[in-house]
């Protein structure tokens, strides 16, 4: 083994040590901020960018300032990509952010706003996700409405 190989092996070992230390620091910072990493363990085969979600308990005051309920729900769901939330969970996040929620029908009003928007998809009978997260379901709806698929148009 020549000196360049020994140097490369030494560098590799140093980087591995630093990687372990950095992962511990990242986990500690995520815990302090209330942010949950979607990765669990770091795996080179997974994406280089960890999937980070915002905990519903860590929503800061004013997070949804001047947003409609639909826009605020979209912002919340996009921060938790691929994780649908129930109407009650969305409403609770709104309340924690200090969003002014008035009236005894607030859940019904939020449900209606989400139901009317094509951006949201009701999944598993209880939760809301972004329509773009479910392209197969959207295609089935489009086929049912059109009576044909987009592939038939060519």
How do residues 78-107 score in pLDDT, each as one tens digit? 887 888 999 999 999 898 888 888 788 999
Give me the pLDDT at residue 137, please. 64
pLDDT at 111 over 90: yes
Please tell me the pTM assigned to this model. 0.55
Which candidate, 66, 90, 65, places its Cα nearest to that of 76?
90
Task: Judge whether residue 120 has pLDDT over 90.
Answer: yes
> Cα–Cα distances in Å, from 118 out to 52, 81, 122, 123?
26, 17, 10, 13
Check residue 139 and give its pLDDT. 53
Beta-carbon contacts of 26 under 8 Å, excluding residues fewer than 6 positions away, are 37, 50
> Is the model more confident about 19 or about 28?
19
Q: Judge contact between 73 and 58, C-beta under 8 A.
A: no
**Nearest Cα to Cα of residue 125 among 92, 90, 93, 84:** 84
| Lowest-pLDDT range of 15-24, 48-57, 64-73, 88-97 | 48-57
Question: Could you tell me which residue, 146 or 20, shows the higher pLDDT?
Answer: 20
């Amino acid at each position: 083994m020549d000196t360049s190989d020994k140097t490369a092996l030494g560098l590799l070992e140093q980087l591995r040590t630093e990687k372990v230390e950095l992962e511990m620091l990242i986990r500690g910072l995520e815990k302090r901020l209330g942010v949950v990493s979607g990765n669990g363990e770091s795996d080179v085969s997974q994406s280089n960018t960890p999937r980070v979600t915002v905990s519903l308990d860590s929503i800061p005051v004013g997070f949804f300032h001047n947003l409609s309920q639909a826009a605020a729900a979209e912002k919340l769901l996009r921060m938790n990509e691929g994780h649908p939330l129930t109407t009650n969970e969305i409403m609770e996040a709104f309340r924690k952010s200090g969003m002014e929620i008035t009236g005894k029908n607030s859940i019904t009003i939020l449900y209606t706003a989400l139901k009317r928007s094509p951006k949201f998809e009701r999944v598993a009978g209880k939760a809301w996700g972004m329509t773009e997260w479910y392209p197969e379901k959207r295609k089935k709806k489009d086929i049912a409405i059109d009576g044909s698929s987009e592939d038939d148009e060519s």
